[in-house]
Amino acid sequence: MEPNDSRGQDTILSRVALNDNKAGMQGLDKDKINKIILETSKGSRFYENELKRERQVNQRIEKMMRYKAKVTEQQVQKAQAEVEKLTADLERSRELDRVIVHVDMDAFYAAVEMRDCPELKKKPMAVGSMSMLSTSNYHARRYGVRAAMPGFIAKKLCPDLVIVPPNFDKYRAVSEQVREVFADYDPQFLPMSLDEAYLDITEHLEQRQHWPESMRTHQICEMKTTGVEEMSELEISVGAETDTLSPVLFEDSPSSSPVVSGADVKVEVFGTSPEEAVREMRFRIEQKTTLTASAGIAPNMMLAKVCSDKNKPNGQYRILPERKAVMDFIQQLPVRKVSGVGKVTEKMLAALGIISCSQLGQQMAMLSLLFSETTWHHFLQISLGLGSTRIDRDSERKSMSTERTFAEMSDAQEQYSLCRELCHDLAKDLQREGLKGKTVTLKLKNVNFEVKTKAFTLQCAVCTEEEIFAAAKDLLKAEIDYVSPLPLRLRLMGVRVSSFISIDDKQPRQKSIVGFLKMASDYSSSAQPSKSEMVSVLGSSVSSTWEQYPEPRSPSFTGETSKPFSKWRTESDCASEPQQQTFFQKAHAKRLQKQYEQEETSGPYTDKISKCLPTDSTNNSAFIVRTHKATVKTDETQRCTWISHPDTHELAAKSDSNLPTTNPVSYAAQTKTKSANMLQCFTCPVCFSQIETKDLSSFNQHIDKCLRSELDNKSRSMDGCQYLCEDKNLLDNQGDAEKDHHKAIDLSSVSRKSVLKRNDEGPHTSSSTPLFEICAHSGFNTPFFKRFESMREKGSLVPHETMSDSGCVSFHQTASSVEVISEPLDMKVSTLTCPVCNQAQDTDDLILFNHHVDMCLNQEVLLEFREAVPPMAQSNSKVKDHEQYSTARGKSKRRGLSPPPPPKKAKAISTRHTIDKFFKGNSNHKF
DNA sequence: GGGGGAAGGATTC
DNA sequence: TCACGGAATCCTTCCCCC
């Protein structure tokens, strides 16, 4: 259907044309208004998108009509029987004894603004912006200006329109006043927004019957008496009322309270009926705020809501609690008036000849064949005038989100920046409400107004900026990659967190590392803990200094290699197959849990993620050094991690130029403090000799030297850089209780300086401060690690009692209390030997070298994989498990509407080399 | 086949 | 001149997994 033909225009009218389903908008010249709206909108991207959506609705209708044409009489009869049965059931359960009230403030935001700025009262005005109006006063409505209309179109309709920017603080304050009144009638009232609420006044009315008149008498604040004005039918039925104080918000509105004049004071006495109670409530609201409210009184929420609109503004309407009264009211009610029936549903029903609720009831059998069960059940309830008679006050929030609309944004870096900002804002909101959710959803709207949402469910609930951003940025990256090389042209971005965990899940039971390993053992031997158990187990108390974190990668790296331990895949594997969690997934879960615990005891995370430190170009993991601002109570547990090298930011910036990085909070100050010019004793983390110096650079030179030597050794001996390897011999030589500390070491661990600073201040305990934490996914047959082992066995190092929450093992020096000061190594290696192919690489460029290593490993793994898996099985679920990233991005359920997923990346990981395998493989070991 | 995740859409204020 | 929001919920459909 072409947009320019007359039919197309009629069609689009249902979407962009004036919706006069609002108080104060009857009797307008709709044709004229619609002509202006169409002329203003036509040709815009918004309009084009609306056309597209309209076509989709038309297709739905056509499909529905085709189906309807095929429905047989027999089907209808059968459906009719079902409808009648359900109708009888519903009738039996009909409740009429509750008195439900829906109160809605009249043009709330506009009314507040007019109250505070009386000159606006005589002008057409609206609250909002040129982009969007929140509401309008009744003058403006006469021009067709209404809520949810863009300001620029409103200006076309009414050039004199005054647009006032919203002031939500003010509205909240007024709303609070109104709610104080509500509470007197129903302490458990249900606010729906700042300006409306549901109340169940049944109990209030019972009590009210026994109230003396004095309790129902209210003094009238002298404000303005305008005399008797027009009255609605309702008010005539209620009794003569005099507008005594309406701030002339609605000059043609019905009047309100009757006045009983005393000698000096005017008072008003209200009766005991529901109408009187509600009138009193509205009276008190008006007295308190000088704003008017409208109300509906009915036996259920659905009807009360419709009723509150019946005599708007400044009026009320009651449906008596009798079946006949309800059915009489419903019969002529247009379906569109019912909350929940929007323009699409209205149009679909209209196509079936259904405009009123009585028609809805007449065609229920057919509707039951054309719509889903949920939908037609809802229709049936509407047609019977049924609704909820109990106000659900206990419903919990299910999601929290933040989104922003902006001028076109095509630059990826800007988009990542914005994404982080949104995550920051959302994290603050979540933490304010103490919420943590497992599903992160990214919402994008492109410049053509097409909306796309991408969601990912993590195994653990998250609430910090970093955690949310970690997921959101990957979702964003997937979209950017998908449209690449074209830019992703956005006009809106939003981030949502949902699937909140329950209170129970937030309170994990503590378990020791023994428990953890026992569980890992049990786990692998089929006894699966529940999710909450899993979270609990992973919540052991540890000190965290280093954390594995996915490095935001620059585009130049994206296609290089698959990244074996990206958080993305880690989490998705967790989510989909908890029983196959890798060690790192568990460790990550534990980290998140630990974070939460710290927040619980010490307030929110101070968000001091000092830096993502890319260690080298092949390593997909960056290290985040967290500093906790007084998050732990005792000295024993108070630990800080410092970055000792001032160049780390530059390094990070170079490696991570495409993405916004975390603000290096107070980094410089910390560095300076730690670099105080005093003689200190350092332990070389590589050769473990004691170096006494006050010059860190000389110490660093020493470490560099050691590391070069170490790396050279390692490159010859290790069987895979950051890829896992197992050393059964080593394991066999260890005591059972210590085996849990045998983690591998990775290239990144080696390629960093670790400065051990003696802490001579005050007493120390060996268990208080970690000397070293070796990141979990590393090889442990390296000389480097073995030296650790040796030191540990000698008693110089005491393994921390638990596995670190970052998936690291902490070591503590017994001789003195130390702090770990770590940084990535700015290594200068002249010649590097590939640990995979054992070929010397003619380069000292780590990026090139690491790229080569990745390529070698990919080839090896692919080779192994091909050998291990028959060709036909290579596309099975085992493969899919590693493709969560692609899955999340391309797993559109609406294949016809969504683009196909991007090509899947080659993997460079073999499940052979996982710690998880290690645990499983050693499940017979007695830990 | 049911449960649940993902994605899109409808609806409300 | 250009220019159509933000937050939340519920529903439907598709699809995967058990």
Which range, A307-316, A641-650, A709-718, has the best average confidence (pLDDT)?
A307-316
Share of chain A above pLDDT 70, in %: 48
Mean pLDDT of A191-206: 96
A337 or A607, higher pLDDT? A337
A498 CB inside 7 Å of strand B? no
Q: Cα A619 from chain centroid?
A: 29
Task: Quick: pLDDT tens for A564-601.
Answer: 222 222 233 333 333 333 333 343 344 444 444 443 33
Q: Say which amino acid occupies A669.
A: A
A451 CB inside 7 Å of strand B? yes
Residue A556: is its pLDDT beyond 70?
Answer: no
Task: Quick: pLDDT tens for A244-256.
Answer: 333 333 433 443 4
Query: Distance (Å, rounded) from C-alpha A811 to C-alpha A738?
Result: 12
A248 or A52, higher pLDDT? A52
Residue A437: is its pLDDT beyond 80?
Answer: yes
**Both structure tokens of A210:** 């026994």
Residue A270: is its pLDDT beyond 90?
Answer: yes
Which range, A238-247, A445-454, A905-914, has the best average confidence (pLDDT)?
A445-454
Q: How far is the CA of A236 from the C1' of B13 (A)?
A: 31
Mean pLDDT of A447-475: 92
Q: What pLDDT was estimated at residue A623?
A: 22
Residue A303: is its pLDDT beyond 70?
Answer: yes
Residue given tokens 């057409």 in the structure block: A124
Contact A146, A136 (CB under 8 A): yes
Q: Which domains does chain A have, with CATH numbers?
A: 71-95+322-393 (1.10.150.810), 97-123+164-221+267-320 (3.30.70.270), 399-500 (3.30.1490.100)
Q: How far is the CA of A292 from the C1' of B8 (A)?
A: 39
A799 or A459, higher pLDDT? A459
Which CA-bearing residue is nearest the C1' of C12?
A: A372
Q: What pLDDT was estimated at residue A186?
A: 96
Handedness of CA A482, A485, A489, A493 (dihedral sign): positive
Mean pLDDT of A791-797: 38
- The pTM of the full predicted model, rounded to 2 decimals, is 0.58
Query: Distance (Å, rounded) from C-alpha A224 to C-alpha A62?
Result: 57
A491 CB inside 7 Å of strand C? yes
The pLDDT mean for chain A works out to: 63
Residue A512: is its pLDDT beyond 80?
Answer: no
For residues A208-237, b (16+ Cβ closer than 10 Å) or e, as one string?
A: beeeeeeebebebeeeeeeeebebbebbee
The protein footprint on chain B, as nucleotides within 7 A of a CB, is: 5-13
3-state secondary structure A720-758: CCCCCCCCHHHHHCCCHHHHHHCCCCCHHHHCEEEEEEE
Residues 6 or more apart whose CB falls under 8 angstroms from that of A756 comprise A682, A683, A684, A685, A771, A772, A813, A818, A819, A820, A821
Mean pLDDT of A709-731: 34
Q: How far is the CA of A648 from the C1' of B4 (A)?
A: 44
Q: What pLDDT was estimated at residue A844?
A: 53
Task: Quick: pLDDT tens for A363-404.
Answer: 999 999 999 999 999 999 999 999 999 998 878 889 999 999
A152 CB inside 7 Å of strand C? yes
Residue A902: is its pLDDT beyond 70?
Answer: no
Query: What does residue A590 show for φ and ψ, rounded to 5 degrees?
Result: -70, -40
Share of chain A above pLDDT 90, in %: 41
Residue A327: is its pLDDT beyond 90?
Answer: yes
Residue A742: is its pLDDT beyond 90?
Answer: no
Query: Distance (Å, rounded) from C-alpha A721 to C-alpha A254?
Result: 80
A337 CB inside 7 Å of strand B? no
Cite the beta strand spans of A175-259 per DSSP E. Answer: 190-193, 196-200, 217-219
Which CA-bearing residue is nearest the C1' of C14?
A: A893
Q: What pLDDT was estimated at residue A87?
A: 96
Q: How far is the CA of A430 from the C1' of B5 (A)?
A: 22
Q: Residue A895: which nucleotide is closest by CA–C1'?
A: C14
Residues 6 or more apart whose CB falls under 8 angstroms from that of A630 comprise A602, A638
Q: What pLDDT was estimated at residue A32?
A: 86
Contact A383, A330 (CB under 8 A): yes
Residue A513: is its pLDDT beyond 60?
Answer: no
Residue A443: is its pLDDT beyond 80?
Answer: yes
Q: What pLDDT was estimated at residue A709?
A: 58
Mean pLDDT of A820-844: 44
A274 or A650, higher pLDDT? A274
Among A337-341, A419-423, A446-450, A537-541, the minimum mean pLDDT is found in A537-541
Mean pLDDT of A505-528: 31
Residue given tokens 């070069």 in the structure block: A708
**Both structure tokens of A125:** 């005005």
First to last CA, chain A: 71
Residue A330: is its pLDDT beyond 80?
Answer: yes
Task: Quick: pLDDT tens for A102-143.
Answer: 999 999 999 999 999 999 999 999 999 999 999 999 999 999
Q: What pLDDT was estimated at residue A380?
A: 95
